[in-house]
Amino acid sequence: MAISDTKLRKLLDKNQTPCVLSHRDSLSVRVSAKGTITWQYRCRVDNKQVIISLGRYPGLSIKEAQDYIPLLQNWLSQDKDPRTELKLMRNQAKGLPTMAKVATDWLNKKVPDLKEKTQTLYTNQVGKWIVPLLNDEAMPLDLMTIKDWFTYFDKVKEQGSAKTTGTILVRIKSIIGWAEKRGEAKPFNPVLTLNVNDVGEQATIGQRVMRFDEIAKLWIQIESSKATPATKACLQLIYITGARQSEVRLAKWEHFDFDNNIWTVPPENSKTNQAIRRPISKKMHSILNTLAMVYGKSGYLIPGNNPRKPVTTHSINRYCCRMWDHLFTKYKTPKFLPHDARRSISTLLSENGIAPHVTEKMLGHTMRGVMAIYNKHDWIKEQAEGYELYCQLIEAAIKGELSV
């Protein structure tokens, strides 16, 4: 028999024997010894009987309690746990943030302090892998269970790759750590217990080292290509200096001291946030002279389509890919990327007698241990000798290729 307001008011706040009164469609009320009346819904979840407390009467009226029935039945029909869904619905009404909201706040408040390239990377990751999948339709961050996280990472792996999934896990843990320190997320979120191998794969550490004959073939292909002088020069400078792509792309003429033959990468262009000094080799001088004749000696060394802006990472990566495609067609050359130039120059010069501490400085690495604290020498003279040797060996390889 359905419960009426009259009956409930007679029981409310009266001392009595505790009891449970059925209403309809698995809805009932529990009456405590002191007359506290609580609406309950009984159902089975994972083959177990559960009782869900909906609220107290009269704060929750009979009609309001009955309005929960279709919601609860719908969740059960979709194999969803109505306890979790109810908590989600109520907390969304309270404004608990989702992972998408926290990530967006992180982008707006933390990321602008980072380098431009890093800002672009993080913005793309959040925009593609976090906001679309963990938005307002998802569970609030503080309510996400370990099962919810695995469901999410399975979607990332399905739409991306195992390596992408591992990268996104690392990014999410960083974002949540930031939010915890600001009091915007509860501590001990279950995702923090996961390792990359639990959800995906570690990013591959590059192994490609190009031989001198491969670099020579690449150089010849670059020279014969129809790309702009800026694009050609950028890839060539990357390969003869071992500098990071961003260090070359963002270089400005004001960074070059031609009186002392020194190229200084400013801290804002350096991955280590420290200035990097490199000598200017004869081969580099030749390339710089060509750039000066074409574009002038002001602003960016390697201008993009807009002369006031540098060439983009995408443009250089795409150009390098085209060069490799030609070499693969002609010689079946294994795949290479701009970043492989760094591993190649370090390995090839070490094979030709250049000391490791010199090649480390050529790469722009900071020294480790005690040397990092007390030894600020950058071995410019030794670097210059290394660069000249490297360019001579490349020139010899080019002559060898042309003579075949």
The pLDDT confidence band at residue 105, using thresholds 50, 70 and 90, is very high
Domains in the chain with CATH codes: 5-93 (3.30.160.390), 99-198 (1.10.150), 212-399 (1.10.443.10)
* Structure tokens that stand for 155 in this block: 């979607």
Tens-place pLDDT, residues 116-166: 878 988 999 999 999 999 986 677 888 888 988 999 999 999 999 999 999
Tens-place pLDDT, residues 326-380: 999 999 999 999 999 999 999 999 999 999 989 999 999 876 655 554 445 788 9
pLDDT for residue 296: 92
Q: Helix crossing, 99-109 with 162-181: angle to 10°?
A: 70
**47 or 373: which leads in pLDDT:** 47
CA distance 313 to 316: 5
- Hey, CA dihedral for 357, 359, 363, 364, is it positive or negative? positive
The residue assigned the tokens 């059960």 is 76
CA distance 126 to 171: 9
CA distance 293 to 54: 78
Which residue type does 327 have?
L
Helix, coil or strand: residue 368: coil
Q: Which helix (H) or strand (E) holds 24?
A: strand 19-24
Contact (CB, 8 A) for 281 and 391: yes
Helix, coil or strand: residue 20: strand
pLDDT for residue 93: 57
- Residue 282's alpha-carbon distances to 93, 347, 354, 391, in angstroms, are 67, 21, 18, 8
pLDDT for residue 374: 43
CA-based radius of gyration for the chain:
32
Residue 3 phi, psi dihedral angles, 5° rounding = -85, 140
The DSSP bridge partners found for residue 19 are 31
Neighbours of 44 (CB within 10 A): 10
Tens-place pLDDT, residues 201-230: 887 767 889 999 999 999 999 999 999 999
Neighbours of 35 (CB within 10 A): 14
Look at residues 259, 209, 197, 203 and name the one whose alpha carbon lies nearest to residue 239: 209
Burial class of residue 248, CB neighbours in 10 A (0-12, 13-18, 19+): buried
